[in-house]
């Protein structure tokens, strides 16, 4: 939402908005000229407004939304406004259950390195330009396609990317068949003059690819059947060295300053896009070598007594497992996962997957579940997850209690992994500030 607001402000539209709490995005928008309200109140909506744009997180009971309806103001979902903004651009759309934010950032870095001067609209803050939007003046746009509410189906891309497909957002899709059909439609919405890049290693993705043979599809992954194949990987403390073989070329000893095989696999989509666009090997190498990543994607926030605090957006068990694996590669002597489960519906749907993922850590600290406006589901909470864990674990209810527990565990070589999509990032920052040896 903040990214769309930035673009509209730079296009000289008048923008106002409200959020539950002040944050870096609201402050930036104020500096750019937006009228920002903290908290929701009907008085924030004027009869002279042209449009009201809402995110999928906004309830029908929201007071401002009700007021907009009273005034008969046209109401647009976020994806509808996004579609209007990118109308006329040649678009690369990146979707998938995991990794799409980082992959979108890498795609944006590729087109920037190639001097395409793209418009970039991402779901996370990209470190290279300190925002989730880069206002390029070229004819290309790179956008993160959000599948959570089906909104990625409003994009008509030249190049589409599917990183993977998991049983995510089942509160919207309800069943696997509907989820698969949506991703199939995403591919079919791609221009027949363009291509779809998809990870063949992912079972659900692979099964969908077979259903759309009339589209140009380039696969990537570790599978030897992939068009863009990872053939060698060496993990280091500063990042990953790897080699890739495509149908026309081999790229030896590429470097990506990120840990985790999942990040390397995501970068294969960038190589596929570069080849499709006819970009040279030097552009690919420079893009990957200089990639600065995305905030809250294994972001090191600080260290106390040589214990490291890492902030990450991971909230799905598969993502949590990937982050823990990356921390092992980081060289952690002990990993303490500080986890904020996300959404009652997600935890219910994936309940059996949380324990094995969390048990990969040496110890688990569970904070209260982040509801994201959902109504509670009986028996679904952090305590229910804790009961299934084999590793050492504790439950805490407040930031003060968390800091107290962390202070007891500040040993050199320990990595604290703060993972979740709600307040956990702020708690990580507070822990760095307030914890002491």
Mind giving me the DSSP string for 46-62?
A: -TT-S-EEE-TT--TT-
Q: Report the Cα 246 to chain-centroid distance in Å.
A: 27
| Residues 360 and 186 sit within 8 Å (Cβ to Cβ) | no
The CATH superfamily of 86-289 is Mur-like, catalytic domain (3.40.1190.10)
Instruction: Give catalytic residues, as residue numbers.
Output: 100-101, 144
Per-residue pLDDT, averaged over 154-167, amounts to 91
> Is pLDDT of 261 > 90?
no
Distance spanning both ends of the chain, measured CA to CA: 40
Choose the weakest-confidence range: 108-117, 322-331, 357-366.
322-331
The CATH superfamily of 2-77 is NAD(P)-binding Rossmann-like Domain (3.40.50.720)
pLDDT at residue 48 in the model: 93
pLDDT at residue 56 in the model: 78
Choose the weakest-confidence range: 123-132, 199-208, 360-369.
123-132
pLDDT at residue 55 in the model: 86
Mean pLDDT of the residues in the chain = 91
Beta bridge partners, 235, equal: 240
- 299-434 has CATH 3.30.450.20 classification: no
Per-residue pLDDT, averaged over 133-147, amounts to 89
Per-residue pLDDT, averaged over 399-408, amounts to 94
Per-residue pLDDT, averaged over 257-281, amounts to 93
> Is pLDDT of 169 > 70?
no
Where do the domains of the chain lie? Answer: 2-77, 86-289, 299-434
CA distances from 177 to 2, 169, 181, 206, 377 (A): 32, 13, 6, 14, 24
Which residues, 6+ apart, have CB-to-CB distance to 304 below 8 Å?
Answer: 410, 432, 435, 436, 437
- Between these two residues, 181 and 57, which has the higher pLDDT value? 181
Tell me the pTM: 0.74
> Is pLDDT of 213 > 80?
no
């Amino acid at each position: 939402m903040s990214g769309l607001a930035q673009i509209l402000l730079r296009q000289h539209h008048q923008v106002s908005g409200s959020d539950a709490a002040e944050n870096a995005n609201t402050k930036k928008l104020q500096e750019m000229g937006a009228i920002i309200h903290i908290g929701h109140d009907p008085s924030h909506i004027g009869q002279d407004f042209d449009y009201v744009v809402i995110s999928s997180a906004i309830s029908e009971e929201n007071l401002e939304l009700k007021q907009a309806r009273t005034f008969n103001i046209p109401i647009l979902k976020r994806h509808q406004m996004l579609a209007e903004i990118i109308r006329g651009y040649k678009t690369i759309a990146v979707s998938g259950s995991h990794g799409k934010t980082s992959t979108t950032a890498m795609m944006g870095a590729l087109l920037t390195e190639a001097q395409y001067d793209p418009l970039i609209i991402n779901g996370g803050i990209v470190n290279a330009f300190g925002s989730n939007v880069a206002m390029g003046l070229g004819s290309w746009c790179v956008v993160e396609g959000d599948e959570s509410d089906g909104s990625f189906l409003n994009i008509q891309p030249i190049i589409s990317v599917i990183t993977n497909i998991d049983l995510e957002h089942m509160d919207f899709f309800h069943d696997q068949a509907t989820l698969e059909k949506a991703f199939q439609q995403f591919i079919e919405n791609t221009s027949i003059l363009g291509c779809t890049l998809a990870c063949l290693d992912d079972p659900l993705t692979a099964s969908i690819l077979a259903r759309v043979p009339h589209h140009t599809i380039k696969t990537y992954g570790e599978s030897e059947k992939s068009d863009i194949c990872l053939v060698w990987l060496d993990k280091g403390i500063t990042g990953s060295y790897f080699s890739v073989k495509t149908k026309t070329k081999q790229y030896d000893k590429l470097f990506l300053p990120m840990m985790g095989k999942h990040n390397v696999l995501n970068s294969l989509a960038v190589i596929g896009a570069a080849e499709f666009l006819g970009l040279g090997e030097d552009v690919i190498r420079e893009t990957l070598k200089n990639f600065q990543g995305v905030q809250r994607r294994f972001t090191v926030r600080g260290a106390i007594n040589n214990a490291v605090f890492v902030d990450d957006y991971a909230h799905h068990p598969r993502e949590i497992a990937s982050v823990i694996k990356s921390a092992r590669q980081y060289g952690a002597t002990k990993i303490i996962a500080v986890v904020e489960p996300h959404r009652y519906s997600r935890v219910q749907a994936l309940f059996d997957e949380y324990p094995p993922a969390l048990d990969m850590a040496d110890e688990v600290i569970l904070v209260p579940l982040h509801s994201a406006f959902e109504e509670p589901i009986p028996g679904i909470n952090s305590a229910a997850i804790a009961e299934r864990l084999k590793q050492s674990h504790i439950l805490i209810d407040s930031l003060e209690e968390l800091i107290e527990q962390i202070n007891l565990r500040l040993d050199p070589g320990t990595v604290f992994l703060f993972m979740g999509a709600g307040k956990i990032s702020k708690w990580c920052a507070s822990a760095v500030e307030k914890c002491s040896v």
